[in-house]
Amino acid sequence: MLQIRELLGKIDAEIPFSKAESWDNVGLLIGDMSSEVTGILTTLDCTLEVVQEAVAKHCNTIIAHHPLIFSGIKRIENKGYGAVIHALIKNDIQLIAMHTNLDAYDRGVSAMIADKIGLTKQQILLPAEREMAKLQIFVPHEHAEPLKRALAEAGVGRIGDYSDCFFQLEGQGQFRPNESASPYIGTSNQLEVVDEIKLECVFEPHLQQQVEATIHTAHPYEEPAYDIYRFKVTDQFGTGIRGELETGIKAEEWLLHVKEQLGIQTLRIIGDSSKMISTVGIISGAGVSYMKEVAATGVDLFLTGDIKYHEAHDLLMTGLLTADIEHYSEQVMIAGLKDLLQSFGCTQVEASEHATHPFKAI
């Protein structure tokens, strides 16, 4: 049976918790890493009713999009949020949060909304950048393969779904050892010319200390010659989703379809609703702070939630046609996350049937 730490490992391999924003609180919030998972319940928010649902469905693990705990807790009373925490602990239910790391995923919440409303040709709306490190090292010809194996074991040369990625070029290196040197090849005070291989490969920056230790262990030279430098690449993670409609259509006409598909109580339009649209940008939850970046992408319509009055005027000034689709439109992730977890090999996953919308339209 799967343990919580193994479940977290499966999730992290596909949707790294490290991709969450620095202010966020993701991962295991309540529970025991060694607990065995008897069942998983996915939900947008972890409320007392959701905990009771988990108990009834014999699920000892809840995975919520919105973290129950955001900041430090000074006391836990059996009321409000404290009652939810009390119920989780009393019933030995583990609580995991997948928030901005799931938002940043190309099959995450924005993509789930895009799927629901029928957008095609989906891609990350605002791709993130990430830092990578590149190693350039010189090694005698006969030691190139052992060094590559050692570096690969240390995590070097992994690009996407590929491992052992190296480029090599043959050449000659020269050096002159002094009296205090203990050269693997050569004689003190004599110039030595050696047939060498130049290896180039990339690795994640956090591995640098381990990589350098591997070089000094696996390389035959007393003083290996190598360079490491950092560079930026476009990440496969980012903010929001961009998609296309099958044919151009008036915004107000298509948004009626969106409202129905997402089960939105109120949908507010900012801008000319008679505009013909064919490309749509989505940032689930509250994404209006990205309005300038979204406008620069050239999408015809922007969908997000939680837009305030003055932000709506800013959108008008920006000229970005926008529809407020409510924060609760994220509820599509309840079923969407169930499907994702099952695709990662998780079994016994249930989608919560309890609505956690805090508003009622009258």
Detail the residues annotated as belonging to a binding site for a divalent metal cation. Answer: 65-66, 103, 327, 330
Number of Cβ within a 10 Å radius of residue 19 = 22
At what angle are helices 109-116 and 251-262 packed, to 10 degrees? 110
Euclidean distance between CA atoms 138 and 248, whole angstroms:
57
User: Over 145-170, what HEC string results?
Assistant: HHHHHHHHHCCCCCECCECCCCEEEE
What do you get for the CA distance between the two ends of the chain, in Å?
Answer: 47
Euclidean distance between CA atoms 190 and 178, whole angstroms:
8
DSSP codes of every residue in 205-242: GGGHHHHHHHHHHH-SSSS-EEEEEEEEEEEEEEEEEE
Closest among 203, 198, 207 to 157, alpha carbons compared: 203
Cβ contact 351:54 at 8 Å: no
User: Over 273-306, what HEC string results?
Assistant: CCCEEEEEEECCCCCHHHHHHHHHHCCCEEEECC
Cβ contact 288:326 at 8 Å: no
Point out the annotated binding site.
65-66, 103, 327, 330
Give Dmax (Cα) for the chain: 91
In the β-sheet with 27-30, what is the strand arrangement from edge to edge? 27-30, 94-97, 61-64, 40-43, 349-351
